[in-house]
Structure 1
């Protein structure tokens, strides 16, 4: 008489057969079988936008354009004019971007052109490739490409800072039209602040602590006469550089504000830029 195998024992034997079969698959028979590609390492890095290409047209990024993606997928960045947020998910070599809200400052000239291209290219499903400190994001059809480079944080001292917005409380606004990129400064280790207010070169002495920058002496300037927008910006900065300013340094962005909430924000120039 034939003996029947108990059901439980049959199930165990079947499982062992399946596991044995899986363990004997040839590694090269199916490159994707039994493995999951690791996510591209794009989170926790300060990425500076280099160029954006839309339908074959390349647009170079202005100074200060960047994006940072947190491990939870929340991203914050700046187009070189406006700040913006986004939700970013990473799966293998695919980065999916859902754009969020941003500030609404007017972005004239090249900054406005870049921002418009960035909004088109930095969205949806993108294929990511990391090569050293370079990141390339390409749309599925290959027509849109975003090129970025990882950047280290900028030190407070010795960095060339370019004023890119004026601050009033919780509101930021662009410098007067025609004065963009004109005001730059460096905070030296010896406590000297020097640069250009938008028209005239200046120098002053200052005391710097962990949270404040206090101008301790008169601001000395050259005496050139410039166009209206540049002089308007210069007058505003000259007034602000009087007394104590609180500062906040976030990677490559420096914001200085007075007790009344009035101040300005500046972005670190690339290391290769000449001193002002």
Structure 2
């Protein structure tokens, strides 16, 4: 058996060795979000698009380029917008939240530093959530408000009345139509909570995933509604 293999081994020794294939560029998860403060900005990689927004209303929205491997990370490079991700822990300087990555964004030549992390697809949907804060402050009502986002329909309770609305998601942008509620009268704090909640849920909001829940943020990055999962 070994004798028969010898000629084949000899031929193999003379045959040219193919060059190893170049490894494919590293990529991050299809959903990625980065944020910065002082000044506030946000960037995201979602649905094949790379976008950047700042507090002054400037936006860059372009097709996402292929990822380029970098030292301990990845870079997405275009003439107008670069997203440079380094896999080292990062703090946004404004909260206790810790991010998995340190991020540098170059937007039209302007360099901005911040933090980022991969986002799970549809992290908001299909879960029961309790409202833990409205506008960054405690809800204030005697009963908790709860929400559920599923299949384009928002349902729940304000802590007083039942609530329903239609919503849509594009990447991390959540657009909620005006919510309809039942019309039961409740004590003052409960009604105040309801009014604050329905007002906070209006208009396009940005989904930000945290360690213990999610936040729906206003255009300026401030918290509109903070949600924690309802424990069974």
TM-score class, shorter-chain normalisation, is 0.3 to 0.5
Please identify the structure whose Cα radius of gyration is greater: 1
Tell me the TM-score normalized by structure 1.
0.40
Higher helix share: 1
